[in-house]
Protein backbone atom coordinates (compact mmCIF):
# COMPACT_ATOMS: atom_id res chain seq x y z
CA UNK A 1 0.00 0.00 0.00
CA UNK A 2 1.38 3.37 -0.95
CA UNK A 3 1.63 6.27 1.45
CA UNK A 4 -1.13 8.12 -0.43
CA UNK A 5 -3.46 5.13 -0.15
CA UNK A 6 -2.70 4.75 3.56
CA UNK A 7 -3.42 8.44 4.16
CA UNK A 8 -6.68 8.24 2.22
CA UNK A 9 -7.76 5.17 4.18
CA UNK A 10 -6.88 6.75 7.53
CA UNK A 11 -8.63 10.03 6.70
CA UNK A 12 -11.78 8.13 5.66
CA UNK A 13 -11.67 6.20 8.94
CA UNK A 14 -11.32 9.42 10.96
CA UNK A 15 -14.18 10.99 9.02
CA UNK A 16 -16.46 8.08 9.93
CA UNK A 17 -15.38 8.22 13.59
CA UNK A 18 -16.36 11.89 13.76
CA UNK A 19 -19.61 11.20 11.89
CA UNK A 20 -20.58 8.49 14.39
CA UNK A 21 -19.63 10.69 17.36
CA UNK A 22 -21.89 13.43 16.01
CA UNK A 23 -24.74 10.96 15.45
CA UNK A 24 -24.41 9.59 19.00
CA UNK A 25 -24.27 13.10 20.47
CA UNK A 26 -27.41 14.10 18.52
CA UNK A 27 -29.29 10.85 19.21
CA UNK A 28 -28.85 10.98 22.98
CA UNK A 29 -28.85 14.78 23.32
CA UNK A 30 -25.40 14.81 24.90
CA UNK A 31 -23.77 18.10 25.74
CA UNK A 32 -20.31 19.11 24.62
CA UNK A 33 -18.73 17.80 27.83
CA UNK A 34 -19.58 14.13 27.31
CA UNK A 35 -16.68 12.09 25.99
CA UNK A 36 -17.44 9.73 23.13
CA UNK A 37 -15.00 7.10 21.94
CA UNK A 38 -15.54 5.21 18.70
CA UNK A 39 -13.21 2.38 17.80
CA UNK A 40 -13.24 -0.25 15.08
CA UNK A 41 -11.48 -3.48 15.97
CA UNK A 42 -11.38 -7.11 14.89
CA UNK A 43 -14.24 -9.11 16.35
CA UNK A 44 -13.14 -11.65 18.96
CA UNK A 45 -16.11 -13.90 18.21
CA UNK A 46 -15.15 -16.56 15.70
CA UNK A 47 -18.63 -16.46 14.14
CA UNK A 48 -18.47 -12.72 13.49
CA UNK A 49 -17.60 -12.16 9.81
CA UNK A 50 -15.91 -8.78 10.13
CA UNK A 51 -14.91 -5.93 12.39
CA UNK A 52 -16.86 -4.65 15.37
CA UNK A 53 -17.35 -0.97 16.18
CA UNK A 54 -17.35 -0.18 19.88
CA UNK A 55 -18.90 3.07 21.08
CA UNK A 56 -18.27 4.28 24.64
CA UNK A 57 -19.81 7.36 26.26
CA UNK A 58 -18.46 8.88 29.47
CA UNK A 59 -20.88 11.41 30.90
CA UNK A 60 -20.13 14.44 33.03
CA UNK A 61 -21.33 12.39 36.03
CA UNK A 62 -18.55 9.89 35.19
CA UNK A 63 -20.96 7.13 34.24
CA UNK A 64 -19.80 4.99 31.37
CA UNK A 65 -22.06 3.30 28.85
CA UNK A 66 -20.81 1.29 25.92
CA UNK A 67 -22.11 -0.95 23.20
CA UNK A 68 -20.78 -2.77 20.18
CA UNK A 69 -22.16 -2.93 16.68
CA UNK A 70 -20.93 -5.83 14.57
CA UNK A 71 -20.38 -3.65 11.53
CA UNK A 72 -17.52 -1.56 10.19
CA UNK A 73 -17.43 2.18 10.87
CA UNK A 74 -18.49 3.10 7.35
CA UNK A 75 -21.60 0.89 7.51
CA UNK A 76 -23.14 2.33 10.69
CA UNK A 77 -26.22 4.45 10.02
CA UNK A 78 -28.25 6.98 11.97
CA UNK A 79 -31.22 4.59 11.83
CA UNK A 80 -29.22 1.91 13.67
CA UNK A 81 -28.23 4.38 16.37
CA UNK A 82 -31.83 5.61 16.64
CA UNK A 83 -32.88 2.10 17.71
CA UNK A 84 -30.47 2.09 20.65
CA UNK A 85 -31.53 3.16 24.12
CA UNK A 86 -28.45 2.40 26.20
CA UNK A 87 -28.51 5.81 27.89
CA UNK A 88 -32.19 5.64 28.81
CA UNK A 89 -31.71 3.02 31.54
Residue 87 lies inside a defined structural domain of this protein: no
Reported as half-sphere exposure (CB side, CA atoms, 13 A), residue 69 has a value of 23
Residue 71 lies inside a defined structural domain of this protein: yes
Residue 89 lies inside a defined structural domain of this protein: no
Cα separation, 76 vs 81, in Å, equals: 8
In degrees to the nearest 10, what's the CA dihedral of 57, 84, 78, 75?
Answer: 80
Cα separation, 65 vs 13, in Å, equals: 23
Number of compact structural domains in the chain: 1
Domain range holding 21? 3-82
Cα separation, 11 vs 29, in Å, equals: 27
7-19 pLDDT, tens per residue?
999 999 999 999 9
33-74 pLDDT, tens per residue?
999 999 999 988 888 888 999 999 998 889 999 989 999 999
Residue 44 lies inside a defined structural domain of this protein: yes
Residue 89's pLDDT band, with cuts at 50, 70 and 90, is very low
Amino acid sequence: MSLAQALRQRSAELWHVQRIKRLVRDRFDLGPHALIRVEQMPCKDGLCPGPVTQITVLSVALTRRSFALHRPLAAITAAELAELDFLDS
